[in-house]
């Protein structure tokens, strides 16, 4: 296959080297069909046959007509202390409940049920640090480590109803701490290690956490990220934290406040840290974790997920989409501090009994082939990453991956933003050797697991997340709720509840209803993305409709960046927009009105960028700050970011009839 070949002229199916076929459809998009070997061996094919269907379409149609049967099939593959009386309770919609009455614990399924089988000897987690240090955990060892820390937490009085905030780098202690909380029935709230003081303080406050688990520091490009120092500043801004447990990771000097700060290794050496800790049976609807995500206001939303439905949804999606087999080495290159890491580094790999790989450092450190060398050395068979990472590594050229044997790979995946076809093809050809189907998975923090995604047997179109997953019914609709025609842009909605869905927003159930369910069309989950369906029913995600910006795949709210800006003494008002960027997808451009007595200068621009970096974290640092005398506003005083964006892009500003005159 050649990238420059004009697909529009190519109407014949051609065999690729692996026996898969690639065809032109609609005279424009080529369809990448999986090889018969991939289809024959896929987990989804086995399920399709088990249910007596001969095509995936038939299986899908059945699954959305009988979602409760489909999801209970999946749930029955997991262990439950007590069975459910009802699969779905929709009597208080949109506060849906799944597997009502069941007793379970996700740790029972992620660890306990494996350690009584041969899997106790299987590697659960392989970790490599940026300096090449490696640590491995069998399911047996993982169980011991999780139990030991669970006993420590228990001895501190942590129990069901508590929320432990975790602020750790990408090290094994992160999944271990998450699992330890879940094991004793407490909830965790992980704050991404790239976030900073104000972001951490806000999240600790909202969750009212008494315990914070952090580390002395993290490592990125051989430099120390001062996590403990940031945590100290954050703790000074909130009265909530009583105990701070610190992992010694970088070994550099940090301040430990006596009576509050304790080293994790000291606690683990106490007799209380026994390796035996019974897993607490919890209600299927009990909270497993809170994960904060950005929305349209400055206050991040604490998305609530529960044990029962979430374990079923993440388990089923990883099994069918990434086709997990016992022999696989699965690498989700996200950070556990985001939903991708929660669902697909920590929970679902262990739920499926897989071997999960985790790497702490930068993708191009010390050289741009670091990832490719990791794949070769660890024999990774499935790689799941983000378009921004692919674009970033693509810039360095083919010579870097071609030095390494990537033949262990059999499947690839992407998530976080639409992938441009050029990056898709590079990933397919250079990394996947034209043999590995690419699973472009669309989902959100709120959805808990994949929603629109291929399976290995789906013919692929570069740039499209293809079709909804089994049991998931989505649509593209007009503002009034009526379905859009093919190729018409509209709002993406989900028409039926699904088990891994968020249950509410912590401390703000009303906001849950108004953000996701109250808008037209009533009774459907409003995603916040615009999309279109093509003639074949394939979905193409266009982008966010709200003030959420995806920078390098990280979800940021303009409002949070703006509130960081106005916390600086020079700033009176601020507005931020996302502008397209070749590698990062989007970058932040902020517009600032200064207070009396301040004047815009390159020095002040740098100072403000640094201020946002300090308060929110380096990822939220604006790329550019413009000093302006006024901002376009509606008559009711709302900033019209749409107008700023159109102006910045040199586009027509559109309808500005509501603009303040």
- Least distance CB 403 / ligand WTA (angstroms): 29
Considering beta carbons, is residue 489 or 607 the nearer one to ligand WTA? 489
For residues 551 and 587, the answer to whether their CB atoms sit within 8 Å is yes
Q: Determine if 335 is a binding residue for ligand WTA (CB under 6 A).
A: no
Considering beta carbons, is residue 89 or 440 the nearer one to ligand WTA? 440
Question: CA angle at residue 561 from 555 to 564, to 5 degrees?
Answer: 140
How many CA atoms are closer than 13 Å to the CA of 450, on its beta-carbon side? 28
Considering beta carbons, is residue 365 or 517 the nearer one to ligand WTA? 517
For residues 466 and 424, the answer to whether their CB atoms sit within 8 Å is no
- Least distance CB 344 / ligand WTA (angstroms): 9
Q: Which stretches of 295-416 are DSSP H helices?
A: 307-321, 339-341, 348-351, 370-378, 387-394, 399-402
Considering beta carbons, is residue 105 or 441 the nearer one to ligand WTA? 441
**What is the C-alpha to C-alpha distance for residues 119 and 561, in angstroms, rounded to an integer?**
46
Q: Determine if 541 is a binding residue for ligand WTA (CB under 6 A).
A: yes
| Residues 396-415 contacting ligand WTA, CB under 6 A | 415
Report helix, strand and coil shares of the chain as percent, to nearest 5: 30, 25, 45
- Least distance CB 541 / ligand WTA (angstroms): 4
Q: Determine if 530 is a binding residue for ligand WTA (CB under 6 A).
A: no
For residues 30 and 461, the answer to whether their CB atoms sit within 8 Å is yes
Q: Determine if 291 is a binding residue for ligand WTA (CB under 6 A).
A: no
User: Judged by CB under 6 A, which of 73, 162, 440, 615 binds ligand WTA?
Assistant: 440
What is the number of other CB atoms lying within 10 angstroms of the CB of residue 648? Answer: 15
Burial string for 624-645 (b: 16+ CB within 10 Å, else e) reads ebebbeebbbeeeeebbbebbb
- Least distance CB 136 / ligand WTA (angstroms): 27
Q: Determine if 462 is a binding residue for ligand WTA (CB under 6 A).
A: no
- Least distance CB 460 / ligand WTA (angstroms): 13
**What is the C-alpha to C-alpha distance for residues 611 and 613, in angstroms, rounded to an integer?**
5
User: Judged by CB under 6 A, which of 528, 557, 578, 585 binds ligand WTA?
Assistant: 528
DSSP 206-267: HHT-SEEEEES-EEETTEEE-HHHHHHHHHHH-S--SEEEEE-SS-------TTTEEEHHHH
- Least distance CB 339 / ligand WTA (angstroms): 5
Q: Determine if 339 is a binding residue for ligand WTA (CB under 6 A).
A: yes
Q: How many residues line the site for ligand WTA (CB under 6 A)?
A: 22
Q: Which stretches of 418-471 are DSSP H helices?
A: 421-426
Question: The tokens of 658 are what?
Answer: 């509501």
**What is the C-alpha to C-alpha distance for residues 529 and 543, in angstroms, rounded to an integer?**
5
Considering beta carbons, is residue 172 or 528 the nearer one to ligand WTA? 528
**What is the C-alpha to C-alpha distance for residues 205 and 41, in angstroms, rounded to an integer?**
49
Considering beta carbons, is residue 153 or 191 the nearer one to ligand WTA? 191
Considering beta carbons, is residue 59 or 465 the nearer one to ligand WTA? 465
Q: Determine if 151 is a binding residue for ligand WTA (CB under 6 A).
A: no
Considering beta carbons, is residue 312 or 339 the nearer one to ligand WTA? 339
Considering beta carbons, is residue 128 or 529 the nearer one to ligand WTA? 529
Who contacts 561 (Cβ-Cβ below 8 Å, separation ≥6)?
574, 576, 588, 590, 612, 616, 620, 622
- Least distance CB 101 / ligand WTA (angstroms): 30
Which range of residues in 15-23, 41-49, 207-215, 523-531 is near ligand WTA by CB under 6 A? 523-531
Q: Determine if 533 is a binding residue for ligand WTA (CB under 6 A).
A: no
Which residues bind to ligand WTA, rule: CB under 6 A?
A: 293, 338-340, 415-418, 440-445, 465, 527-529, 541, 544, 550, 555
């Amino acid at each position: 296959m050649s990238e420059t070949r004009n697909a529009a002229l190519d109407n014949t199916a051609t065999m690729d080297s692996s026996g898969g076929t690639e065809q032109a459809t609609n005279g424009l998009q080529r369809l990448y069909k999986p090889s018969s070997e991939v289809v024959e061996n896929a987990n989804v094919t086995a399920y399709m046959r088990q249910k007596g269907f001969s095509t995936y379409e038939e299986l899908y149609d059945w699954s959305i007509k009988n979602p409760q049967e489909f999801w209970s099939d999946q749930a029955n593959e997991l262990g439950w202390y007590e069975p459910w009386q009802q699969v779905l309770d929709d009597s208080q919609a949109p506060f849906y409940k799944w597997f009502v009455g069941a007793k379970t614990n996700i740790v029972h399924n992620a660890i306990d049920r494996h350690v009584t089988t041969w899997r106790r000897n299987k590697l659960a987690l392989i970790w490599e640090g940026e300096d090449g240090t490696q640590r491995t955990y069998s399911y047996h060892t993982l169980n011991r480590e999780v139990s030991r820390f669970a006993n420590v937490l228990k001895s501190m009085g942590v129990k069901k109803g508590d929320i432990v905030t975790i602020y750790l780098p990408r090290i094994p202690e992160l999944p271990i701490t998450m699992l330890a909380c879940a094991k004793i029935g407490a909830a965790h709230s992980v704050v991404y290690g790239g976030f900073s003081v104000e972001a951490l303080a806000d999240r600790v406050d909202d969750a009212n956490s008494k315990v914070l688990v952090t580390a002395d520091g993290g490592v990125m490009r051989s430099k120390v990220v001062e996590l403990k120092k940031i945590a100290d500043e954050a703790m000074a801004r909130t009265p909530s934290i009583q105990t701070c447990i610190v992992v010694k990771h970088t070994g550099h000097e940090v301040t430990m406040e006596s009576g509050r700060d304790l080293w994790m290794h000291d606690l683990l050496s106490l007799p209380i840290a026994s390796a035996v800790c019974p897993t607490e049976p919890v209600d299927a609807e009990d909270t497993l974790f809170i994960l904060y995500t950005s929305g349209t206001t400055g206050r991040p939303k604490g998305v609530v997920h529960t044990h029962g439905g979430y374990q079923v949804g993440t388990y089923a999606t990883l099994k069918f989409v990434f086709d997990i087999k016992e022999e696989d080495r699965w690498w989700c290159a996200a950070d556990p501090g985001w939903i991708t890491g929660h669902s697909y580094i920590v929970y679902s790999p262990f739920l499926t009994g897989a071997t999960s790989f985790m790497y702490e450092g930068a993708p191009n450190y010390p050289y741009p082939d670091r990832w490719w060398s990791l794949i070769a050395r660890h024999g990774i068979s499935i790689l799941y990453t983000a378009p921004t990472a692919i674009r970033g590594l693509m810039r360095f050229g083919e010579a870097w991956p071609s030095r390494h044997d990537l033949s262990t790979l059999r499947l690839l995946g992407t998530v976080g933003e639409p992938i441009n076809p050029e990056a898709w093809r590079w990933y397919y050809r250079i990394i996947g050797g034209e043999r590995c189907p690419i699973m472009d998975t669309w989902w959100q923090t709120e959805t808990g697991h994949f929603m629109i995604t291929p399976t290995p047997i789906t013919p692929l179109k570069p740039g499209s997340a293809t079709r909804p997953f089994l049991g998931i019914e989505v649509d593209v609709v007009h503002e009034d709720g009526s379905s859009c025609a093919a190729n018409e842009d509209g709002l993406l909605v989900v028409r039926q509840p699904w088990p891994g869905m968020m249950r509410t927003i912590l401390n703000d159930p009303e906001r849950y209803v108004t953000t996701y369910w109250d808008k037209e069309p009533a009774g459907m989950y409003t995603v916040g993305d615009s999309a279109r369906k093509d003639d074949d029913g394939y979905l193409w995600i266009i982008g966010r409709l709200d003030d959420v910006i995806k920078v390098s795949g990280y979800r940021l709210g303009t409002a949070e960046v703006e509130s960081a800006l106005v916390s600086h003494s020079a700033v009176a008002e601020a507005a931020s927009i996302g502008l397209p960027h070749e590698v990062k997808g989007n970058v932040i451009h902020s517009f600032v009105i200064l207070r009396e007595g301040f004047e815009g200068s390159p020095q002040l621009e740098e100072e403000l960028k640094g201020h946002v970096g300090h308060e929110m974290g380096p990822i939220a640092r604006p790329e550019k700050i413009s000093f302006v005398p006024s901002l376009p506003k509606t008559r009711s005083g709302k900033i019209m970011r749409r107008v700023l964006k159109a102006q910045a892009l040199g586009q027509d500003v559109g309808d500005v009839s509501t603009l303040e005159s």
